Amino acid sequence: MNNVESQLQLQDANLSPPPRTLPRRSFLRRMGLGAVAFAPGAGLLSSASKAFGDDPGITTGDAALLRFAAAAEILETDFWVQYNELGGIPDSEVPGGSGNPAYTKALKVLDGDMDQYIHDNTEDEFTHFHFLNAYLISKGAQPVNLDKFRTLPGSTATGSSGKPRLTNLMQLTLDTSWWTRYRSREKNPDLNPNFVFPQAIPSLNTGEHTAIPRTDNDTNHTKFLQAIANTAAFHFPTIEQGGNSLYPSMAQRATSVEVLRILISIGPTETMHFQTWQDKAGNAPQLTAVDPVTGVSVTFPDLNSPPFGGETFQTNLIMPEPCPFISPTLPKCSIIRPTNTNGIATGVVKFLTDMGLFRGQSQMFFSVLSQLAAEADAAQREN
């Protein structure tokens, strides 16, 4: 085990940012070449790794951007692991769980390769947060660890590892307006912030819905189990379109060319995920089902037929339609949207919270996540 790996085991949620620039040698002097206890709520961080030589550190702002990205990737990994345990391919690359045949079969109604795609998406998120934390350590900056917040109960259905979770996939309220936002040729949220894009699946935007079987009893209701798989199919792109916007938005605040390179290199993989998943969501079979536990109803309509239909809802329009960009006087352009950088991290936290992904989490969890977001939003590009 190298120094970076050992420090990744010691890291904890950061509440105290480092000085504006933090060269490694200065960091080691201040740390006394040993481990230091930080403020209440923070953990222990040993001396910075020399695995990457004596490169200078990074600015406070760049470290804050990467820490928020790492936190987001840790949260993504947590729920993708839950999906992989039940509907993906548990193996040495993505360990945990043993698979749920009934749930996997329902997912495969949307695409025969869903289990492989879930596996690969999960592995991607693992690599993202491991890299980001290792890079932060190599620059003498604090990494992020949210392990102490793994307190939420997960699924008890066959295939689940039963481990405590960071995220809750069983009480989701999904905003599916991204579907129409990416098909609109006239509106861009960066230029039209008050425009309300229609929901693709209105019933998912009300009430609480599970995207995984909560118990084996959920797998005994064939129609409802398909509704669970359909919900997951729309949750996948709902999450990934957030990362799709987060990385280019934060990249505009980066000072270091290397940090910029990291952000614009990871960001496009989130776009690949998003395009893959919105294609699969378009295959969700039409149905209406009622949750036998909560009584909440969900309807997945034919998005290609009235009262839906047209380019606004067309299922095979999985590439961004051209829309206004920078100024309405300029030609329309096919782009990622939104990419306005102001308040992007805080907006992501609100988006995930409103979704119900953190239902049951502690106030300390929300405080840590909000501070990481505020520090990222405060980052400024320096000369």
Compute the distance between CA of residue 60 and CA of residue 191 in angstroms, rounded to an integer. Answer: 30
pTM for the whole thing? 0.88
DSSP state of 283: T
Instruction: Name the packing angle between helices 60-87 and 257-281 (round to 10°).
Output: 30
Under 8 Å between Cβ of 232 and 212: yes
Compute the distance between CA of residue 64 and CA of residue 78 in angstroms, rounded to an integer. Answer: 21
Distances (CA, A) of 359 to 168, 177, 242, 365: 6, 22, 19, 11
Distances (CA, A) of 286 to 177, 213, 305, 312: 19, 19, 11, 18
Tens digit of each residue's pLDDT, the chain (383 residues): 555 555 555 443 333 333 334 444 333 333 222 222 222 233 323 333 333 444 568 999 999 999 999 999 999 999 999 999 999 999 999 999 999 999 999 999 999 999 999 999 999 999 999 999 999 999 999 999 999 999 999 999 999 999 999 999 999 999 999 999 999 999 999 999 999 999 999 999 999 999 999 999 999 999 999 999 999 999 999 999 999 999 999 999 999 999 999 999 999 999 999 999 999 999 999 999 999 999 999 999 999 999 999 999 999 999 999 999 999 999 999 999 999 999 999 999 999 999 999 999 999 999 999 999 999 999 999 87
Instruction: Give the burial class of 236: count Cβ atoms within 10 A of its Cβ; 0-12 exposed, 13-18 middle, 19 or more buried.
Output: buried
Q: Where are the alpha helices (DSSP H) in the chain?
A: 3-10, 24-31, 60-87, 101-108, 114-138, 178-181, 222-251, 257-281, 344-354, 363-378
DSSP state of 290: E
